[in-house]
């Protein structure tokens, strides 16, 4: 599993840390981004296998960033969100998320 790199882009520091800790314990390579500027830089330098993306980021809309990630076509995208309406889920999937977890 060491070759699997997971980028966590999450605005909530507690949730970001919790996700990161559990994934690291499972043997994944994990790095965390707290905002989109950092996320873009990390994405280009580390080329993750999977991106776990919060839809509500402090500095931008995660759905817009999902569109940008989809254009890169290098990683799977899991949208993680408290938004659980059918419309929100469809919007996230149409933006390019491979899956949407509420």
Q: What is the pLDDT of residue 58?
A: 79
pTM for this entry: 0.92
The structure tokens listed for 87 are 């419309």
**96 falls within a domain:** no
**95 falls within a domain:** no
Whichever domain contains 39, its CATH number is 3.40.50.2300
**26 falls within a domain:** yes
Q: What is the pLDDT of residue 37?
A: 86
Domain residues for 11?
Answer: 5-84
Q: What is the pLDDT of residue 24?
A: 96
Print pLDDT tens along the chain (102 aa): 558 999 999 989 999 999 999 999 999 999 998 888 889 999 999 999 999 999 888 788 889 999 999 998 789 999 999 899 999 999 999 999 999 999
Q: What is the pLDDT of residue 31?
A: 94
Domain total for the chain? 1
**30 falls within a domain:** yes
Q: What is the pLDDT of residue 2?
A: 56
Strand partners for 53: 9, 79
**67 falls within a domain:** yes
**89 falls within a domain:** no
Mode of pairing for the β-strands spanning 29-33 and 50-54: unpaired
């Amino acid at each position: 599993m060491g070759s699997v790199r997971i980028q966590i882009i999450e605005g909530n520091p507690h949730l970001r840390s919790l996700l990161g800790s559990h994934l690291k314990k499972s043997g994944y390579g994990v790095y965390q981004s707290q905002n989109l500027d950092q996320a873009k830089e990390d994405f280009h330098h580390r080329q993750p296998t999977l991106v776990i993306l919060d839809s509500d980021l402090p500095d931008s809309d995660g759905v817009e960033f999902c569109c940008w990630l989809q254009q890169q076509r290098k990683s799977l995208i899991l949208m993680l969100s408290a938004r659980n309406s059918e419309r929100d889920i469809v919007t996230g999937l149409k933006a390019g998320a491979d899956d949407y977890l509420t």
